[in-house]
Each structure stands twice: as C-alpha cells, then as structure tokens.
Chains A and B, each alone.
Chain A
Amino acid sequence: MYACETLNLSSPLDYWDIFQRLHKICGAYDLMWDGWTVDECGEDTGNNMTNGNTVAESWIDGVSDWWFDNHPMVIAAERADTWHSGNPDWGNTTMYCDHLWGHGTTVSDISPSDKYWLSWRWSEG
C-alpha cells in the first residue's frame, strides 16, 4: 500500500487480528511522497523480489529513492519458536525468510492459533 499512514508504528499490535494466515503487510507509518523519482517504485519492488530479496527488504528498498523522506514499514506474523524470550531468532522469522514464490524460501502459513508475536521493520530518515 503506497499511501501515507497505512500502518501504525507506535501500536503495531492493532493489526493482530488481520493476520489470519496472512504473512505480511507492506505499507507506511507516516508520510509517503509522489514525484517523478518514485514513478518506478512498483517496478523496483518487483525487480528486487525476482532478484532474490525478501519481500520486506524489496518493499523498503523499492519504495525508497533516498531523497524523499518516505516511511515504509512491513509487519509480519511470527511463531512462538522464533520468539526466544524476547530476543528473536530473526533468521527464521517470516520477516526475514519470506520471498516471492520461486525466488527463495517462503515460510508456511501461520494459523491464528500458532500466531505468537508480530515483527515489524521500517525505515526512518
């Protein structure tokens, strides 16, 4: 969702109920910009994904021209086994494992009963 304030950085748990086997939401927690330098951001995000980047990385990098102060954010659902008492095993999280189908690993769907925590990743200028 390339639009302003589609996600809330100060309260990401508000999105808890949205994750009914949903892996991730890609959006923004503050202002996003429209201008000629971000005309290709959809294309860039797609290219990043087919080049083997994770979905989260692809989104944050793809929508950033590193000039406009964009605020992309990704929220992902996670299982209990990666929580590690609050020091997450980031390498096995949905956030850092999920790729586009056929372009890297993809975690299996997390059913609502297996959902234990939410991870989020963002860029701030």
Chain B
Amino acid sequence: MRADKDLQKMLVEKTANYKDTIPVFKIRNRNIQELHNESVRLVLPFTNALQAKELRFDCVQKENHTLLRLHDNATLQYFPESGCIRFQKNTPGYLNPISEDSKETNKNEFEKAACDILEKNKLNLSGSMDNLHFEKLFQLKSAGMSSERKITPVVLNRLVYAYRRFVDELPVLGSASVFIKTSAENKLDAFGIDWRYLHEDPITMATIMKPEEAAAIALEQLQNTNPERLYTPKEISPISFELGYFSHSKTMYQTIMQPVYVAKFIFTGKFRMGYALAVPASRTPYESICRKVIPPPFNAGRNNKKVSFSPRINPFKSC
C-alpha cells in the first residue's frame, strides 16, 4: 500500500470511538406517503394550520425531491431516497436579527440554549436505540464598510444549531442529523432533518478493522486523488479519524447503516482545502459508500485541451 508511514501514524493517533465489534442495522426506508405525512406533521407547528388537512400547499415534483410551497413563501422539501426533510420559512435574513451588534452577544449562552431549542421545536426524533446531541453552533452575520472606511456594526442575523445522532453510542457521520436555524427570541426560521430510521434488531455484528489497517486504506484512497505524488505530513495534516455509522448524502439511497472510519484532512500550504473521506470499517462489504459522481454539463468550459468527448455521447457530432 502506498502511504507515508508518518502520516499513517499521525492519523492513527487521532482515532476516536474505536470498538472491536459493532452492530449493523437495516434501514427502514419510508414510502413517499409516509414521508409526506411525517414532513407535514413536523412543519405544522410553524404554520397557521391546526391540522394536516388544513395545510394548503402547491406540490412540485422535482428530479430527486418533492417541493411543497406553503403560505408566506415558506417551503418544505423532502427527499425520498434518504427521508431527509428541509423546511425554510424564507423570511428575509435582515428581519428579526438576533443582535444589531454582535459584540454584545455571548456564544456560550447560545450554546447553553441548544437543548431547549431542540425540545421546544419537537424535532428530536431519537427513540430507544439512539440519542441526539448538540454538536456545533454556526453564526450568520453581516456588516458593511463605506469607501471612506467607515464600518457598520456587525449584525448577528441568524444562528444555526447542529445536532448529531448517536446509535449504540457511535455517531452517525454525514451532514448534521438535525439543524435548526433561529432568528431573534429563538424563533425557528428553518430546520433540516437527515434521519434514516432503523429496524431495531441488528442484522449482524461487524468486526471492526484495527485503526492502523483502516488508516492505510484511507491514505491510499486519499493518494488516489493525486496519484503522481506521495503525500507527506508537510502537505497534509490529519484532523480526525473517527469510527461511526455512515450516512450518505440526501439524494442517495441506502439500505444498511454500516460502520465506517471517517478521516478528515487539511491540505496545508498555498492551496488549503479540507478533505473528508469514509472507508469501510469492516471487511464485509455491506453496501457501497462511493460518492455521488455527476459529470459536468457538456457545454461546461474545459481547460484541458487533451480531453475529448467519446463519439458515442458527443451530442454535437454530426452523423
């Protein structure tokens, strides 16, 4: 395997949540009606409707999700492949700011309110086999400066509380399991739920690879992004190496909640970039965790002159 030994050692030192064996679960994917009903039930408290049947909406079927246009420009989207739900009130971002001058705010106080906000909005879907924990707070701010270099106060417009789901004490790794965007007085402005329901009984117990072995695989996978050179600690810095359950992006179908190691790196130097990759944590290939690969549009500008279209798919080639 092609991997720098020092880099491998650094990555292994970052290992978190390691266990010898962990249960593998089958995902209970919801049908479209079930998903629709659940989405409507969750947004009902944030609308003027008292019951689901009173909710008026315009339904638009998109390529990979359903969009419901609600009153006052609010939108609700649900993604059948993952069961992911997104609700946005679409109130203009400058209205109801949390603070007109963010210097007067205290981030710790916001973080303390995170659990209350989750419970108040009834967006905690955890049951007997999983838990939801507050993970991170994001602040959305705005400011301005005139040509004479006079600066405005920094306005704190919105807060985004991100929460992480844990199954069997292991995090479900993917986009935030639940996020809540709030405006002034903790009023909900948007929320998102990325939650794949599980069948309670595990289908099997997976034997977990040792971190050393998984780190070598992760580094080899990383190496494949640039096969011409061997990455060293001078160019890349490991940030974390975490064992958890894999959750795909919201338009990807998934049937198994399987263990993975997720490695996070930062490319240092002139071209900084964060890079995260997941590798299976067990030798049993339960399901593909490959990334979604979408080709660029055929009319996209391409700098590499050597690239040519295959005649079979070239839409501009005359017969």
Contacts and interface: CB of A to CB of B under 8 A. Distances in A.
A34 B90 CA distance: 27
B308 interface: no
B138 A68 contact: no
Interface string A86-118: 111011010110000000000000000001111
B93 interface: yes
Interface string A19-51: 000000000000111111101100100010001
Given A87-B152, A91-B92, A31 B266 contact: yes
Q: How large is the interface on B (under 10, 10 to 19, 20 to 34, 35 or more residues)?
A: 35 or more
B147 A66 contact: no
Contacts of B142: 90, 95, 119-122
Contacts of B275: 33-35
Contacts of B50: none
A31 B291 contact: no
B249 A40 contact: yes
B251 interface: yes
A51 B75 contact: yes
Q: How large is the interface on A (under 10, 10 to 19, 20 to 34, 35 or more residues)?
A: 35 or more
Interface string B135-168: 1111111111111011111010100101000000
B175 interface: yes
Given A37-B174, A90-B94, A96-B93, A66 B276 contact: no
B255 interface: no
A4 B144 contact: no
Given A66-B162, A124-B138, A57 B272 contact: no
Contacts of A115: 147
B88 A51 contact: yes
13 contacts: A31-B272, A40-B250, A52-B90, A53-B88, A56-B93, A65-B174, A67-B174, A87-B153, A115-B147, A117-B145, A119-B143, A122-B142, A123-B140
A68 B147 contact: no
A37 B273 contact: no
A116 to B, nearest CB: 6
A36 B162 CA distance: 18
B78 interface: no
